[in-house]
Amino acid sequence: MASNKVYWKSFDQLANTEVSQRLAENEFAQDIPADVFLADERSLEAQTSRRDFLKFLGFSTAAATLAACEQPIIESVPYVVQPDSLTPGVPSFYATAYTDGQDYASVLVKTREGRPIKVEPGDAGRFNRGTNARAQASVLSLYDSARLRGPILNGKDSDWASVEASLKKAADAALAQGSQFVLVTSSVFSPSLQAAIERLRQGYANFQHVEFDAVSQSNTLDVWEALTGVRALPSIDLNTAQLVVSFGSDFLSGSTAQQLSSDYAARRKPGTGMLRHVELESNLSLTGSNADKRVKIKPSEVSGALAFLVNELGGSAAKIALRDDLTKALKSVAGELKSANGKAVVLVGGDDTNVSKLAAALNALVGAFGTTLRADKPVYLRRGSEARVANLIADLNAKRVGALVVAGTNPVYFRPDFEKAIKSAKFSLSVTDRMDETAVLCSAAAPLPHYLEAWADFRPVAGEYTVAQPTIKNLFNSKSLLEVLGGLSGDPRSAKDQVAAVAGSLGLNWNQTVHDGGAAVTSGSAAGAPAGAAAALAASAKVSKPVNGMELALYENAVGAGYQANNPWLHELPDPVTRLTWDNYLTIAAADALAMGFENETNSDGSLDGSYATLKVGKRVLENVPVFIQPGQTAGTVGLAYGYGRTSAGKVADELGVNAYALGAATGYATVEISKAEGTHEFATVQLGHTMMGRRIVNEVSLADFIADPKGTNWNEKPTFHTIDGHKTSEEANLWANHDHETMHMWNMSIDLNSCTGCGACVVACHIENNVPVVGKQEIRNLRDMHWLRIDRYYSSDMSKERAEEERIGGIEMYAKMEEPSESPSVVFQPVMCQHCNHAPCETVCPVGATVHSREGLNHMAYNRCIGTRYCANNCPYKVRRFNWFNYMANEQFADVNPSQDDYGRMVLNPDVTVRSRGVMEKCTMCIQRVQYAKLEAKKAGQPLADGGFTVACAEACDTGAITFGDVNNAKSAVRAAKADARAYHLLEEVGTQPSVFYLTKVRNA
């Protein structure tokens, strides 16, 4: 019975140390911060006599009394001419497309009084519709006060005319002198920008356009370009897939994660034909955490493993000796691939030419071409070429570049060789959103509009054209790249006109296209690739021998490539697997850590400390990298996240973490020398607090058991109590009077643990929707995070009661082994927010009635009644209540992290939700502002409230549809159907709290 697995949250809990026991007993790991001012010696030595004290007291009382006599005058300033489309207090929604240099997504932007305040998924059916954590958080990047405000020329504030004139002069001079004029961008998949670049090329014979991606796919693109003739990656279609085999591709958080997550979850509905996922990887990634079967592999073994599979499936590739256990695992994978012929797909991570060739060949052999792997429907999001970057660096160093324009990217940060090279350009201009590492080295810098401020268009995938419209006027003196390039090539049209011309040339109705955010078009398809040619690639691929030393695998967490590194929401979001915040660190296997002397130590206050390491890749050295011991990490490998270690991004990102790009591992993998360094690093984790101990928290069942027992009699038993009248469930054995939940609505939420991938988009969405404060690293280290919604991650052990019985293992040894990590632990994610108990323990202990029940099944929290006793949080079995220890909006301790402390960041606040002050408790309200709004809209329209017409912020942000919210009194609602599902159970049902939130059992296709 899989549900008897024991989950544990950390090594400390596993070892059941004194610290973790104490933490489990205490809701608040830290006492009241009296030590903060007691530690200040000056305040203790200060001499204040009793008379002085009384004088101060008297004066402040009198002053406060006088100040209270006068009410401030509040002005109310209406528009002079109010726009027709705007009603103050009513949100407007605009379809647009989100891009930040790395990501692309089709989104819908909510604006209030002309301010974008929330990014929601775009129309159903659009490519990569949906919002990951970065897309959700991107609205705050708009209001980043570190953005560049106006053009800068030679270090002095300037204007656009001068900067453009200087650029034109430099470009013309370069043309005359025969030196180069180079434009550096990230991948360009905008038809209008491509057209503008083409016009520039016409005017300047010396013009070069260099595209590169921060996390490169250059080699993979080369392989596919040779196959299809189009520089683009094939799209992956999981809709018909039965089996996905991934070699560290982390496809659930990659560039098309929204699309893939949604298809993945849809294909993993429990039942016969459920998609099976086998992951072979070195780091324990988000994607690997979701796999049905996970095999640990070193990056250098991947080509050998792929070659083995190619040979097993009838192809021909070089043979190489592999570990026995790996060979065994690969044989079983090969068997599965054979039986899933035509319905399987193999995905690979990193950017190795040989691996890409072997993967293409393997996909050809399993019949993926044209079915699960669509080379005829290429994705244009990645087009970069590292060869051209290398050429450019050589040209720069040889002083062959007369004019350099860097637009919307940051080569000095992404490619360490640029730092020296860029200084050799005669004239360099960085069109950028901030004075980043590149801009500070350029002769000129000019602000680029945020994606929410500018017109743009995109062709993300064959067959789709999307238009991005601005949702706010430019906050700063920025100019679209279309207009900057247009100015050079003598094209006076505005960005909007350029986009409209492209849309017109595609035969699209402009207004309709803008309204819908895009349209299906016929252009841009590729012929597709012949499977035969792909299969033949295997022979030409070089299969490398596994490396003996330590190997580094770079990965992306929520911060991604680092374009939005100055966005505090992304740092506050815990990494789904490590549960650490505000950091990047070296993940290492426990055995390797022991061998090298690295330690992770939990202090008495529950905070985590770690050793430092020095990394050496070739000649490049990265110092002071914190080390974190990660279960599931392949021995002999370490992982490190991109996107940190910025030096010129803004007060949030600067000096945070280390820069993984500095190691120059272009393929994402490298052989690394690791040595221990001095010092102790302070981690900020949300992991050790709020433990739920070893009870049945996540219910899990294998697919076979699920199919054999669809009613869940054996795997989803309700806990019962012995009573004088026999066994009773917690609902029947009830001490309390029931609330009236039948008359009006009864809001319930279903969370499908089978669909949740743990990505964290919901956590960021919740932050934005509910004005949840950002508290920063130190407060999270103090276990005072403010997340209303957290995603618990549990590792499992392979030991179970059944196995103990079989192997005749005794009780003590069994429990000891249950706490032992398996070689490769299976992982589950469980989003937990306020469960809105109908018999809520918090309500009964509040001395002031600040938290009370509603007849719609919600647990209300009246902030202004709260006096901060924190009894409710102590009495909450789910540990979901959060206390405002500080006034995060004004306390200068949080000035660097809390966006609401400056006038720009404050614009992102949701005007319908109160900003809480110090000393009050807060928690998930089930987005009551949305519930109330939807009810009012229904009343205004005179219609009954329809199911699916609205939902809560977390459910809306979820690409996989794991969260369903609705009225169970509506017999036709989706949530009512979910509640009747055999998989449904309540968290800690035995406590008898009768929550309004319920979970659907996870089914593992093992």
Partner 1 sequence: MPEAVLLYFCGAFKSTSSPLSMRMRLSPYASLFRRTFLTFLSVSVLSISASAEVSAEAGKKLFKANCASCHKLDKKLVGPALGDVTQRRSEEWLLKWIRNNAEFRASGDKDANAIFEEYGGSVMQAFPALTDDDIKSILAYTAEGDKKAAPAPGDAATAPAAAPAESASSPWLMYVLGGFLLINLVLLLRVRNTLKQLNGENPTSLLEDLDIVTKILVANKRFMTFLTVVLALSFLYATYAYLMSVGVEQNYQPVQPIAFSHKIHAGDNGVDCNYCHSSARHSKHSGIPSANVCMNCHMYIDGSEIVDAAGNPKYGGERSPEIQKIYAAIGWDPEARTYIEGYEQKPIQWVRIHNLPDLAYFNHAQHVTAGQVECQTCHGPVQEMEEVYQFSELTMGWCINCHRETEIKGDNGYYAGSIDGSASISDRLVERFHNEKITAASIGGLECGKCHY
Question: Of 297 and 907, which has the nearer Cβ to partner 1?
Answer: 907
- Asked if 87 touches partner 1 (CB under 8 A), the answer is yes
Query: Could you tell me the smallest distance in angstroms from the CB atom of residue 837 to partner 1?
Result: 15
Phi, psi of 823 (to 5 degrees): -55, -45
- Residue 918 binds partner 1, judged by CB under 8 A: no
Instruction: Tell me whether residue 420 or residue 865 sits nearer to partner 1 (CB atom).
Output: 865
Residue type, 604: S
By the rule CB under 8 A, 858 interacts with partner 1? yes
Q: Going by DSSP bridges, is the β-strand pair 233-236/373-379 parallel, antiparallel, or unpaired?
A: antiparallel
> Quick one: 112 or 784, whose CB is closer to partner 1?
112
Q: Is 731 in the site for partner 1 (CB under 8 A)?
A: no
In degrees and rounded to multiples of 5, residue 681 shows phi and psi of -95, 140
Min. distance of Cβ 536 from partner 1 in angstroms? 59
CA–CA separation, 1000 vs 851, rounded Å?
Answer: 28
Under rule CB under 8 A, residue 737 binds partner 1: no
Mask for 67-86, x = binds partner 1 (CB under 8 A): -x--x-xxxxxxxxxx----
**What is the Cβ-side half-sphere exposure of residue 204, based on CA atoms within 13 angstroms?**
33
**From the list 592, 912, 959, 989, which residue makes contact with partner 1 (rule: CB under 8 A)?**
912
Rounded-to-integer distance, Cα 200 and Cα 190, Å: 15
- Please report whether residue 36 would count as binding partner 1 according to CB under 8 A: no
| Triad 209, 212, 218: Cα angle to 5° | 115
Between 82 and 505, CB nearer to partner 1: 82
- CA-only gyration radius of the chain, Å: 29
Among residues 318 and 840, whose Cβ is nearest to partner 1? 840
- One symbol per residue from 969 to 998: x for binding partner 1 (CB under 8 A), - otherwise; what is it? -xxxx-------------------------
Residues whose CB falls within 8 Å of the CB of residue 653, separated by 6 or more in sequence, listed in order: 562, 565, 566, 644, 646
Nearest approach in angstroms of CB 958 to partner 1 is: 22
CB of 287 closer than 8 Å to CB of 279:
yes
Return the range that interacts with partner 1 (CB under 8 A); candidates 88-96, 296-304, 586-594, 709-717.
88-96
115 binds partner 1 (CB under 8 A): no
> How many amino acids of this chain bind partner 1 (CB under 8 A)?
56
As measured in angstroms, the least distance from the Cβ of 89 to partner 1 is 3
Q: Site residues for partner 1, window 945-964 (CB under 8 A)?
A: 945-947
Q: Which residues pair with 600 in a beta bridge?
A: 610
Stretch that binds partner 1, among 10-18, 114-122, 386-394, 742-750 (CB under 8 A): 742-750
984's CB contacts (< 8 A; 6+ apart) are 716, 750, 978, 998, 999, 1000, 1001
Output 36 or 980, the one with its CB closest to partner 1: 980
Residues with Cβ within 8 Å of 57's Cβ and at least 6 positions away in sequence, in order, are: none
Residue 182 and residue 407 in contact, taking contact as beta carbons nearer than 8 Å:
no
The answer to whether residue 506 forms part of the interface with partner 1 (CB under 8 A) is no
Q: How far is CA 940 from CA 85, 592, 747, in A?
A: 19, 64, 21
CA 329/CA 700 separation, integer angstroms? 24
Residues 212-271 that bind partner 1 (CB under 8 A): none
Please report whether residue 399 would count as binding partner 1 according to CB under 8 A: no
**Beta carbon of residue 809, minimum distance to partner 1 (angstroms, whole number):** 52
Q: How far is the CB of 646 from partner 1 (least distance, A)?
A: 36
> What tokens does 117 get?
């305040």
Distance separating alpha carbons of residues 214 and 668, to the nearest angstrom: 11
Q: How far apart are the first and last CA of the chain?
A: 12
Q: CB of residue 936 vs partner 1: minimum separation in angstroms?
A: 5
Report the nearest approach of partner 1 to the CB of residue 963 (Å).
20
CB of residue 891 vs partner 1: minimum separation in angstroms?
19
Among 860, 870, 906, 979, binds partner 1 (CB under 8 A): 860
- The binding track of 807-846 with respect to partner 1, each residue x by CB under 8 A or -, is ----------------------------------------
CB 996 within 8 A of CB 694: no
For β-strands 444-447 and 152-153, DSSP reports them as: antiparallel
Which one of 925, 960, 964, 993 is in contact with partner 1 (CB under 8 A)?
A: 925
CB of 32 to partner 1, least distance (A): 25
Nearer to partner 1, 32 or 66 (CB): 66
Instruction: Concatenate the DSSP letters of all residues of 462-500 into one string.
Output: TTEEEEE--SS--SSS---HHHHHHHHHT----HHHHHH
CB-count burial class (<10 Å; 0-12, 13-18, 19+) for 664:
middle
Cα–Cα distance measured from residue 894 to residue 778, given in angstroms and rounded to the nearest whole number = 10
Closer to partner 1 at the Cβ: 583 or 769?
Answer: 769
Binds partner 1 (CB under 8 A): choice among 929, 960, 1001, 1005: 929
Estimate the crossing angle of helix 495-505 against helix 481-489, to 10 degrees. Answer: 90
Under the binding rule (CB under 8 A), the answer on residue 468 touching partner 1 is no
Residue 579 or 767 with smaller CB distance to partner 1:
767
Among 273, 847, 864, 980, binds partner 1 (CB under 8 A): 864
Does 934 help bind partner 1 (rule: CB under 8 A)?
A: no
- 932 touches partner 1 by CB under 8 A: yes
| 567 vs 884 by CB, closer to partner 1 | 884
SS (H, E, C) 790-839: EEEEEEECCCCHHHHHHCCCCHHHHHHHHCCCCCCCCEEEEEECCCCCCC
Residue closer to partner 1 by CB (options 875, 914) is 914
- Residue 12 interacts with partner 1 (CB under 8 A)? no
Of 511, 737, 743, 808, which one interacts with partner 1 (CB under 8 A)?
743
- Minimum gap (Å) between residue 455 Cβ and partner 1: 25
Sheet holding 444-447, edge to edge: 156-157, 152-153, 444-447, 427-432, 401-407, 180-185, 207-211
Pairing label, strands 156-157, 921-922: unpaired
Residues 253, 281 contacting (CB under 8 angstroms) = no
Shorter beta-carbon distance to partner 1: residue 88 or 710: 88
Do the Cβ atoms of 292 and 277 come closer than 8 Å? Answer: yes
Nearer to partner 1, 90 or 321 (CB): 90
Q: How far is the CB of 874 from partner 1 (least distance, A)?
A: 21
Binding of partner 1 at residue 940 (CB under 8 A)? yes
- Least distance to partner 1, CB of residue 966, Å: 11
Decide whether 428 or 750 has the Cβ nearer to partner 1: 750
Distance in angstroms (rounded) separating the CA atoms of residues 565 and 840 = 40
Judged by beta carbon, residue 213 or residue 843, the one nearer partner 1 is: 843
For the CB of residue 932, give the shortest distance to partner 1 in the complex, in Å: 7
Piece in contact with partner 1 (CB under 8 A), picked from 100-108, 624-632, 774-782, 929-937:
929-937
Shortest distance, CB of residue 763 to partner 1, whole angstroms?
A: 20
For partner 1, the closer of residues 390 and 915 by Cβ is 915
Which DSSP helix (H) or strand (E) runs through 678? strand 673-685
User: Could you tell me the CA-to-CA distances from 451 to 103, 139, 598 in Å, in that order?
Assistant: 12, 9, 43
Residue in the structure block whose two tokens are 């061998």: 595
Q: Which residues bind partner 1 (CB under 8 A)?
A: 68, 71, 73-82, 87-90, 740, 742-744, 850, 852, 854-856, 858, 860-865, 912-915, 925, 928-929, 932, 935-936, 938-947, 970-973
